Amino acid sequence: MKDDVIPFNRPPLVGTELQNIKACFDNWHTSGDGAFTKRAAAILKQITGAPEVLLTTSCTDALEMTSILLDIEPGDEVIVPSFTFVSTINAYVLRGAKPVFIDVRPDTLNFDEAQLEATITEKTKAIVPVHYAGVACEMDTILDVAQRHDVPVIEDNAHGLFGSYKGRPLGSLGVMATQSFHETKNISCGEGGALLINDSRYKQRAEIIREKGTNRSRFFRGEVDKYTWVDVGSSFLISDILAAALTAQLEAADAIQAKRKAVWHRYRDELNDWGDSVGVQFPTIPDECEQAYHMFYMLLPSAEAQDGFIKHMRANGVQTVFHYLPLHLSDMGRQFGGSEGDCPVTEDVTQRLVRLPFYFDLSDDAQTKVIAASQKFEA
């Protein structure tokens, strides 16, 4: 990307990442479960309130661990929003599950809880709400329906670290939750994730699955004399090098979040009049939710306006992007029976949504340029 173009995203850098990474080599421990892995996990426990946190190589891997922990088998059904990243459902499809796509609400773009009960069958094995843009789904309703049908809820909290619902941290509400530390997230180590375990029934087996199906962790704690293969699993464990970078950012979380909050509110305040004049819908944040300040998106009045806005901003030196395409209309989604009209809100918003540049070191001057360019666009 040209130096004079304002990118959509730039990975956060707080300045102590390299110092921490060097410490890994100084301590002769660069593989998983080293000092930084433990330090980062402890911080995440404090933030989320989760009793157990296992760092993984990605949020995708954390989701795949939940699929193994729930013993997903061919023929099982997993309920997910169509408006999400493919990893949310791939983790379960890999083990033979059938995706059951649910539409999103037109206000928050979250899993439409009003549609949930009608989608549950005797084959439903999991419900996976996604907290879009770090704004909580209507979790009381989702959890109530899930409890009545005895179906576990797995929170895909890739966007939601630091968000809350009725005072409860996102990631602490389902039996398990997953986090992402991809370079586009508030807290990043390039690639990385975490599995949050809120139900103690899953703790011991999760530790085994994460260590290639072995009881290696018990061996290092001195609980067994030798470790061996005891279950299915894979190499889901993050290296301490990545955990070192992650720790640096988690320890600077207050500064990161304060900056992101300021950027979000400046966009909202200064684009409001322009948005009203061209028919833009801005993010909805319900009163009971504290958002994570993960992104700033807008819903333009039409698909033509979305395309025109992205081209207009590019011509003005600003990179803006759309977001998810409907999973039920993807090549794979159609193989599972998806067709036009199944999720009308998703099908509509995907053609109108644009995201503005949003990152930790976005300068005031750069944001001024983004706002000024936006205000010149006429839908």
Q: Which CATH class is domain 253-320+356-375?
A: alpha beta
If pLDDT is split at 50, 70 and 90, which confidence band does 44 have?
very high
Q: What pTM, to 2 d.p., does this model score?
A: 0.96
Interval 175-183 mean pLDDT: 98
pLDDT at 219: 84
52-61 confidence digits (pLDDT tens): 999 999 999 9
Look up residue 133 and give its DSSP letter.
G
Alpha-helix residue ranges (DSSP H) falling in 4-138: 17-26, 35-48, 59-69, 87-93, 116-119
Q: How far is CA 148 from CA 15, 72, 127, 234, in A?
A: 48, 20, 13, 33
**What DSSP element (H or E) covers 344?**
helix 344-349
The whole-number pLDDT of residue 1 equals: 58
- Cβ-in-10-Å burial (0-12, 13-18, 19+) of 40 comes to buried
Cα gap 8→301, rounded to integer Å: 21
* CATH 3.40.640.10 fits domain 17-250: yes
pLDDT digits (tens, 9 = 90+) for 201-256: 999 999 999 999 998 888 888 888 999 999 999 999 999 999 999 999 999 999 99
**Distant-in-sequence contacts of 219-223, Cβ < 8 A, 24+ apart:** 220/33
| Domain range list for the chain | 17-250, 253-320+356-375
Please report the pLDDT score of residue 269 as a whole number: 98
Q: Are strands 176-180 and 154-156 parallel, antiparallel or unpaired?
A: parallel
Report how far residue 13's alpha carbon sits from residue 80's, in angstroms, rounded to the nearest whole number.
Answer: 33
